[in-house]
Structures are given as C-alpha cells and as structure tokens.
Chain A
C-alpha cells in the first residue's frame, strides 16, 4: 500500500485550486475555466491512482492518514477509504470535470463572473472528497456542514429565477438536519466517553462499543433525520425539486449526483454499523418511507411540467431504491445500493446535463415548450434517450445492474416492500418515455415553432387516448412531411459531445461489465451487513409484511 497521501491530496488540490481561481483578477474567465478543468482532471487522476493503490482484499480502511486535530474533543483529522467511499471518490473525480466542461458557456445571472462559480465548484469538490474520506465522525460532520456553503452560493448566485428561495430552503433544510445530527454526534461522543473512559470520534473505535438500545434509537434518529433530508426520503424531500430546478445545471448534477449521496452513504456507513439494534428495529419504518418514495416520487415526476423538477423527482424515487437496498440488510442489496449511488450519479447526471443542453437551446424549462427535437437534433435526442433509458434501468445500462441487485437482494428478506418497489420500474418507464415523447417526438412544437416560450400544462401535449389506433387508420404510414420550423435547434456542439461522450460510455461500460466495481464495493458492504445477516430471526420479515401491507 502506497505511502502517498492520495486522500489528503484530493482534498488539498481542489481547495488550493479554488483559492487560486478566486484570486484571479477579474475578467480572466477563460483562464479560470482552464485552470478548474485542469485541477478537476488532476483530482480524477488522483482518484484513479488511489483506486490502483487500493487493495480490495485488504483491510477495511486503507490509504489512511491521521493527525490529532482537536485533542480536547478527541478529534483526529483522520482520512481513509473503504470500497464504498472509494467508488464515491471516483464518481466525484469523473463528475466534476464533466460539470466544469458543461458549465463552460453558462451565462450567470446579473453579469456575475463565472470565476466565482468555478471557485465554489472546486471548493465543493474538495469538501465532498472530505465527507467521503473522513473516518472521524466529527470530521465527517464538519465536512457535511461545510459542504452546504459552496452549494448554497452556487445555487443562490448562479441559479434560476427563484434561486434565492431555493438556496435558503436548501440551506435551512440541510442545516436543521445537520444540527439534529450534531446533537447525536455529541451524544455518541459522550456515550463513547462513558464506555471507553475517554471520548473519541474515531469510527473504528465507535463501531466496537455496545450502546444501550434506548440510547441507540435516539442517536440513530439524530443521524437518520439528517441523512433522510440529505438523500431526500419522502416526506423530507420538498427542498430537492426547488434546488434541483433552480440550481445551474452543473450545480444540479453535483447536487443529486454526489451531495445527496452523502445521505445514503451515511445510512450505510454510520447508521447501520454504529446502531445495529436501532437499525434493525426501525428498518420497517425506514422501508415504508423508502418504498413510498419510490412510488410517490415517480407519480409526481409524471405530473411535472418543468423538466428539471421532473428529473429531481426521479432522483427522489431512485433514492428510495437505494434506501431499500441498504435497509434490506443483505450483502447483495447493499452492494447494489452502493453501486446504485454511483450509477445514479452518472445516469441522472447525464440526464440533467442533456436536459440542460436542451434548455440552453430553447430557453425554457417547460416540457410543453418542446416537441419534435429528435428530427432536428438526432445526436441530442440520442443522448437524451440513453440517459432516459439509464434512469429507467434498462438492461445494458449501468442502472439496471444496481437496481436489479437491490431488488433481488431485498426480496428474500423484504418480499412485500420489494414487490411494491418493483412496480416502480413501470412508473419509471412511464415518466421517462412521456418526457422523451413530449420533447423529442411528434411534430415540431413550442420554441421550435414560434421561437417563443409558452408555459406548458403537463397534459396539454398528451396525444389523445387511443391516438395510436385511431390516427393509424386515418393517417398514412409514411413520414409525414415535416413542418418547417422557423427556429432551428442546433445539434450537440463539439464541446457538448465531449461532455456527453464519457458519460454515455460509462453508462454502457458499467452496464455490460460492472463486476470490477462490485468487487471493490462488496467487502465493505459484507463487513457492514455481517452483523445483520448473522442474527437468527428471519430478519423481521414478519414486521416487514405487517408494515408493507398497511
């Protein structure tokens, strides 16, 4: 195992980069962009090297570095990754450069300079790495909270019309969660102090101590609420559609792609190992939230007229799947859930990116303002379709593997919930194909026609029921002469292609050959789940049933 502190480097490099970009004199946007791209690519390289240095068969935490930070609180600046964290770091490494490239031509509102945007972006990257790499609960918490600040500014300064509202909502939601968690963190510390003599925040030490069930429940709730807000589970989700819709595309991608994963990551890394009994007892309730989210959010997604809101809601549904996988307490499902985090980051990231490209052309977020784009911009449509299929988990795309693992892994222990969640894959097909049909198919419409924007009711453009049948008998079976649109939609530019290509490649590659990632993830998950699979009772299938039925 190498001695080079990859993790530290991955935190420091972007932080320094952010400082430099921020310090650049005004009007050097181009330089700022190139610099940010370079830095983020460097981080990607580091992430890859770290993965190479990581020994999947080795002990749980590797590439560790630790220095005493606040001795009075027993806080160490301790970094280290297991497979779960490592894949998230890889995801960050991939997404940030893509986002930088995707934001290249963004026009910030009110003549703000993009320099600030890229500075915040890099700072965010640094903090995100920290969150996943921290092996000290206090350190984790610090990153967890600090992470809000750059995202807050990214949404608030560079977002859409209602950005102020969205930014504050995002910050307050997360802050409330964070503060509740803070109480739990301190509580954990106090418990550890009473158990081990002197308090500690070291994850490994905390994992060892036995906590009284009652206390466990309280602490679990403290952590859970914070995480359930971050990775929005119904009913803590309403901030995400606003933030996701108002944030600049780059922000949205990182928000749902990585930031929110901290929540699900937290479930797996902190809630389960630290509070096993509480997790076991409360799992049914969590699963109710998870499955409710899957169905509820999917239906909501169908009802959206704003494309970015729609994508946000689909993410909420996906987070439901992830939570299901985690709280099913099986290695298969857990592995699937972690893989899901990565895949969702890529798939939904791609979806957000391509939606952003569409919005950049049409200038409207309303589904109803588009139609027949596929004819004018086949490449755009193709990427859109790939992203869509990935998010409805079509076999051959990366998401299929994870969703399949989650479901097949959850079924043995949680049949009822799994069956309900499986219904969600039909809904997923519905919201994706509805969106695709309304925007890409049919005759040119909306901005493609009059070049103007009209607000679209989500249903104003649904073809009449039985439209297929009746229209078929009437119309002829040849391509109808295309209406000549006044406003022509360009196909993807070279830059946009460069943005989409790697993501599409990942979608396919991870869909065809996911095993390497799985081998990276499994040991850590197995270690976490071992506590649960060992216990004799059929892991509360019965409560699962009772919960599921109501």
Chain B
C-alpha cells in the first residue's frame, strides 16, 4: 500500500481529533483528542520522512512526542485543579467568562 494511504489515515485521524474536540464535553477527553491530532501530525511527518528518504521527519516526531508529554503534564495539572474545585471535568460547566 502506498504512502498516500498513510497520509489519508493521518488526515482522518486529525479530523477525528478535531471533531472530538468539538463534540466531547469531558476536558480529559477533549485533551486526548488534541493529542490524537498531534499524533496524526507525527504520522504525517514520519510518512513524509519515509518518502523523502531522510530522517528529519522521524526526528521531528520525537520532538513532538516530548512536547506532547510536557503538554500532558501541564494540561492535566490545570484540568485537575479545575476538577477539584468544581467536582466536574466538563468544559461546558466552565463558562463564567462570556460575552
């Protein structure tokens, strides 16, 4: 199967992630969807790396993973603090700030 399939798959994953962000309420899940988007980007990178026969893509993927990990740390911290005050992780509950 050709590289295009990987790209398409990645695109689909990205889309799923984006849609997930839009439709899911639970902050954790939303966040996971975002991670999914990041990883779809990773997949794309690796694919292209393979295509161009250079390693840059893979290397970048590693960078991205690290960054994603950092993001997880920060994100969970924030979401936890929110959860502990409100006893709920629903992003829809957090809308004191509007208009």
A contacts B: CB pair < 8 Å: no
Binding site for A on B (CB under 8 A): none
Binding site for B on A (CB under 8 A): none
